[in-house]
């Protein structure tokens, strides 16, 4: 958070910060005896000198921020190098001190962490997509080199979120959105449960204040009942553990606000129907006693079928381990999590719990799976040329929901939820994926698009020489499989497109009586450059994909006018088609071209303001899709047939949009929704509703002017108490 010019800092405020630093020294001495406390003192004195005239928007000395960030890291028992970097992380960014000075005074390790944290701070993670993808890529690279850089940055972001109330609303929204979209998922992937949870709740408070306070109000009304119930359950478990001789610490919690909000939205349940709203944590001394404690719990209360998860035998990719079971007592369900002390430390601190300090240098376990997933992700994204592909891959890999499957020999293959047999094949090996002709799951033949479940034993049947199919892109789920299939298709289809392009030129040349042999390579290269192609082969491929007119290309290369009036008539045809689509002339532009037929795809009906992309169809012009259209996701991997398009000018037309809304089934809900829509000026064409189990499903067809109007509707409806979810429905 940037320092601001404020009145002079009072002596009392300085003393308060000095006292916090004394507390920091005591904390580090307790947690890491033997660490270099003198280095820590020098870092504090240096930071105090550089920030001495700066204050925060709250009026506190700016130095209070790095000291609080250092406390967060000290609570995680990180090494002095990391804590020094926390104290100094704003010096390079907010003062005129060069990085070389940090190296000279505090060593290369501290300087490297300060530099990495500063670089991440300068990234605009909510910038337009092309820059955003590159920025997040840089952030991931920084994590691979030294994950402490990101741990320091997460602590920095956490303290800034705790003091976000001093910023103006626009900055609060931007910082909270960036935190929820990027930093909280990264904390989750690194296994840092405590930081992730607080980041999510703080972001939720600023992004959806009405929903946040609605959840808080619902929890507050039942807090006394919850506290009484949890206290009773805790005492019962403690007594039973003592009776059976199992050493155990017993804790209780009520589900966090943001996590509860997501579950209510996702499962369309009311709060009382959330199984893990209340949870008990049993922390014991060994894995053996974890399973023994599970047996005791199941003797005390009946478990709910299908609610047991063994994350000890099969840890999550971020190395989280626990036994989870849901039981019922007195009509109230609650979750029980059972783990060892070490598992508990890893669940809360994640990767920070794995850092060791040896010979003055921080090192991590070379086999640390948290680092492995980042290296794999970067390896895969290096094969991607489109920022949109990278971001979609990132979202999949930052929000893992795992399925554990097995090869016939017992090797565990961890895949995202909804992964298919083809995903499994490519996870085993690229050639196994390419040559896959069939699959057996648990001994039975199933389709290639079969969705895998936990515990499935998967046998891939292959045939040498078999080739992957474009259809596979419509159902594979992992970035690795999609990337490998797309690579193969692009390589082989490009060769076919080049042949088609050459034949199209030969056909036009025959009609015009022109000999292609008389056109020099220099002329072909000149024309290729005019069309943005680096080589003549690239021009042939573009012609084969239908991006350009073979007649126009031949005319430019030969220098002869080709007698045909059909192309002169095309703009009029284009105008007619646009009028039939209800759009003003020029509502969508194809960059660099004004003579191509353009139409909005009916599957997604993009509206002005949507991010759109053009796809060259065979013989039907340019189909314009919304980038989020489900149909276009597979088409977009065919990079040769994409073409940039954009909205231009304004249109007086309205555009049809369908919305699906899931709500509580209560009186007044329909009136509240129609009022929100009417206030925006949108026209309601149809309105249908139905409900069961205290929930209602509402379908609305609207006519809107543009995306801004649609977003006002979505935001307004989402803020209505009792609305679980609202989504735009595509005609697919």
Residues acting as catalytic residues: 93-94
Q: Do the strands 622-626 and 598-600 form a parallel or antiparallel pair, or are they unpaired?
A: parallel
Instruction: Tell me the two tokens of residue 183.
Output: 């930093």
| Tokens 């080709």, located at residue | 562
Q: Are 674 and 684 in contact (CB under 8 A)?
A: yes
Q: How far apart are CA 662 and CA 729, in angstroms?
A: 13
**Within 10 A of 312 (CB to CB), how many other CB atoms are there?**
19
Phi, psi of 269 (to 5 degrees): -115, 160
Who's near 519: CB < 8 A, 6+ residues apart?
A: 557, 558
**Within 10 A of 681 (CB to CB), how many other CB atoms are there?**
11
* CA 90 to mean position of chain CA atoms: 27
Q: How far apart are CA 634 and CA 450, in angstroms?
A: 18
Q: Are 660 and 698 in contact (CB under 8 A)?
A: yes
Query: C-alpha dihedral over 421, 423, 428, 431, to 10 degrees?
Result: 100
Q: What DSSP state is assigned to residue 513?
A: T
Q: What DSSP state is assigned to residue 592?
A: T
**Within 10 A of 300 (CB to CB), how many other CB atoms are there?**
14
Q: Are 457 and 450 in contact (CB under 8 A)?
A: no
Instruction: Tell me the two tokens of residue 598.
Output: 């353009």
Going by C-alpha positions, the residue among 77, 54, 80, 78 that lies closest to residue 65 is 54
* CA 109 to mean position of chain CA atoms: 30
| Tokens 């030129």, located at residue | 505
Going by C-alpha positions, the residue among 299, 320, 323, 297 that lies closest to residue 309 is 323
Burial class (CB in 10 A: 0-12, 13-18, 19+), 175: buried
Instruction: Tell me the two tokens of residue 452.
Output: 């895998």
Q: How far apart are CA 406 and CA 413, in angstroms?
A: 6
**DSSP alpha helix (H) spans, 164-303:** 169-178, 184-189, 193-207, 209-221, 223-244, 257-267, 287-300
Q: What DSSP state is assigned to residue 420?
A: B
Q: How far apart are CA 123 and CA 135, in angstroms?
A: 6
Who's near 347: CB < 8 A, 6+ residues apart?
A: 191, 193, 320, 321, 322, 339
Cα 95 to Cα 46, 54, 292, 665: the distances in Å are 12, 10, 57, 57
Long-range contacts: 383-391, Cβ < 8 Å, 24+? 383/483, 383/487, 384/483, 385/639, 386/636, 386/639, 387/129, 387/130, 387/132, 387/133, 387/134, 388/129, 388/133, 388/627, 388/636, 389/636, 389/637, 390/133, 390/136, 390/137, 391/129, 391/132, 391/133, 391/136
Q: How far apart are CA 446 and CA 458, in angstroms?
A: 10
Going by C-alpha positions, the residue among 48, 59, 134 that lies closest to residue 95 is 48
């Amino acid at each position: 958070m940037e320092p601001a010019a404020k009145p002079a800092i009072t002596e009392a405020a300085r003393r308060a910060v000095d006292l916090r630093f004394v507390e920091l020294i005591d904390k580090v001495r307790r947690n890491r005896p033997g660490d270099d406390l003198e280095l820590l003192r020098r870092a504090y004195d240096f930071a105090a000198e550089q920030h001495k005239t700066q204050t925060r928007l709250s009026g506190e000395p700016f130095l209070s921020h790095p000291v609080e960030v250092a406390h967060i890291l000290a609570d995680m028992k990180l090494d002095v190098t990391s804590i020094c970097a926390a104290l100094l992380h704003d010096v390079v960014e907010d003062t005129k001190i060069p990085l070389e000075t940090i190296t000279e005074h505090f060593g290369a390790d501290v300087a490297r962490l300060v530099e990495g944290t500063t670089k991440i701070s300068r990234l605009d993670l909510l910038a337009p997509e092309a820059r955003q993808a590159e920025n997040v890529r840089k952030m991931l690279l920084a994590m691979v080199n030294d994950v402490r850089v990101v741990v320091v940055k997460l602590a920095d972001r956490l303290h800034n979120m705790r003091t976000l109330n001093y910023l103006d609303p626009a900055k609060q929204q931007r910082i909270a959105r960036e935190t929820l979209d990027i930093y909280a998922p990264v904390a989750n992937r690194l296994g840092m449960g405590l930081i992730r949870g607080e980041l999510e709740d703080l972001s939720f408070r600023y992004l959806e204040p009405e929903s946040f306070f609605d959840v808080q109000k619902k929890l507050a009304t039942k807090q006394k009942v919850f506290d009484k119930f949890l206290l009773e359950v805790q005492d019962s478990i403690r007594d039973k553990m003592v009776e059976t001789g199992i050493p155990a610490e017993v804790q209780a919690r009520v589900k966090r606000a943001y996590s509860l909000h997501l579950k209510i939205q996702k499962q369309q349940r009311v709060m009382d129907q959330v199984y893990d709203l209340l949870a008990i944590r049993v922390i014991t001394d060994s894995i053996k006693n974890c399973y023994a404690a599970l047996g005791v719990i199941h003797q005390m209360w009946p478990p709910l079928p299908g609610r047991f998860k063994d994350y000890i035998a099969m840890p999550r990719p971020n190395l989280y381990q626990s036994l989870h079971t849901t039981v019922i007592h007195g009509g109230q369900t609650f979750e029980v999590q059972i783990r060892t002390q070490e598992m508990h430390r890893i669940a809360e601190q994640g990767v920070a719990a794995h850092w060791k300090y040896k010979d003055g240098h921080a090192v991590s376990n070379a086999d640390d799976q948290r680092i492995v997933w980042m290296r794999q992700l970067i390896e895969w994204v290096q094969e991607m040329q489109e920022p949109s592909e990278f971001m979609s891959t990132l979202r999949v890999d930052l929000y893992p929901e795992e399925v554990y499957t097995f090869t016939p020999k017992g090797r565990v293959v961890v895949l995202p939820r909804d992964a298919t047999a083809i995903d499994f094949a490519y996870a085993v090996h690229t050639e196994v994926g390419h040559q896959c002709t069939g699959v057996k799951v648990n001994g039975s033949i199933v389709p290639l698009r079969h969705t895998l479940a936990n515990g499935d034993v998967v046998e891939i049947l292959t045939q040498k020489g078999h080739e992957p199919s474009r259809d596979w892109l419509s159902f594979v789920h992992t970035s690795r499989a999609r990337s490998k299939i797309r690579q193969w298709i692009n390589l082989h289809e490009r060769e076919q497109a080049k042949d088609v392009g050459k034949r199209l030129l030969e056909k036009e040349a025959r009609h015009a009586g022109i000999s292609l042999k008389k056109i020099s390579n220099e002329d072909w290269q000149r024309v290729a450059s005019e069309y943005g192609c680096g080589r003549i082969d690239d021009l042939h491929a573009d012609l084969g994909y239908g991006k350009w007119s073979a007649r126009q290309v031949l005319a430019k290369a030969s220098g002869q006018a080709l007698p045909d009036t059909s192309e002169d008539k095309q703009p009029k045809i284009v105008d007619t088609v646009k009028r039939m689509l209800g759009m003003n002339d020029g509502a969508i532009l194809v960059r660099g071209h004004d003579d191509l037929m353009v139409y909005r795809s009916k599957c997604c009906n993009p509206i002005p303001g949507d991010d759109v992309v053009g796809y060259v169809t065979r013989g039907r012009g340019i189909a314009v899709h919304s980038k989020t259209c489900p149909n276009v996701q597979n088409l977009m991997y065919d990079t040769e047939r994409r073409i940039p398009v954009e909205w231009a000018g304004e249109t007086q037309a309205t555009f049809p949009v369908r919305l699906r809304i899931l709500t509580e089934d209560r009186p007044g809900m329909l009136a509240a929704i129609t009022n929100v829509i009417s206030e925006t000026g949108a026209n309601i064409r149809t309105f249908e509703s139905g409900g069961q189990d205290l929930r209602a499903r509402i379908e609305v067809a609207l006519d809107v002017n543009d995306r801004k109007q649609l977003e006002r509707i979505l935001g307004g409806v989402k803020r209505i108490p009792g609305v679980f979810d609202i989504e735009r429905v595509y005609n697919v």
